[in-house]
Amino acid sequence: MAETLESLGQLKDALAAAQNPPAAAPMAGEDAVEPVELRERQVDQFGRAYATGKRKNAIARVWLKPGTGAISVNGKDLETYFARPVLRMIINQPFQVVAREDQYDIFCTVVGGGLSGQAGAVRHGISKALTNYEPELRGALKKVGFLTRDSRVVERKKYGKAKARRSFQFSKR
């Protein structure tokens, strides 16, 4: 068994070496470090970065541009649309993580879901738009999980059931 595992490990090493030939040795005076390839900055003709954020059944389209920190959701001010402070805190989290408070204006449209799902969708969209505008921020936002879509949705109702899993009340007589 151990011999088989060793031979499999050697086979994997041989395949990896065949697919990735060793680079030429650096000459004297050259740095041995390869340059890190960053993603490209994605900005439209108006200087805005666009991204789509999703959570549960909510979908947010987010446009981000340099500004004073004004956030507009469906044509309304942030404090008007998201009245609860917790929801506003969720939306501002990406800016706090990368220390960019009050540096970008946000315009977004949100459809579907409830207010909590919409706030999460806006946060997801802002995080993705930030990485499109400043690709070097991707590591910090990914580390705290803001670039991952929260895919939890309501389970569908099944036939023969009262709800998704609840059975109808049993009657002996």
- Asked whether the predicted pLDDT for residue 13 surpasses 80, the reply is no
| CATH number of the structural domain 58-143 | 3.30.230.10
Give the best-scoring range by mean pLDDT among 34-38, 41-45, 160-164.
160-164
Question: What per-residue confidence (pLDDT) applies to 71?
Answer: 94
Average pLDDT, the chain: 84
Residue 39: predicted pLDDT: 77
Contacts by residues 84-92 (CB-CB < 8 Å, ≥ 24 positions apart): 84/115, 87/115, 87/116, 87/119, 88/119, 90/119, 90/120, 90/123, 91/119, 91/122, 91/123, 91/126
Domain borders along the chain are 58-143
Q: What is the mean pLDDT of residues 95-116?
A: 93
pLDDT at residue 12 is higher than 90 = no
Q: Report the pLDDT averaged over residues 138-152.
A: 91
Identify the band that residue 20 occupies on the pLDDT scale cut at 50, 70 and 90. Answer: low
Taking 60 as the threshold, does the pLDDT of residue 104 lie above it?
yes
Query: Facing residues of 65 across strands?
Result: 105
CA–CA gap between residue 42 and residue 142 (Å, rounded): 18
Q: Given this model, what pLDDT does residue 38 score? A: 67
pTM, entire model: 0.73
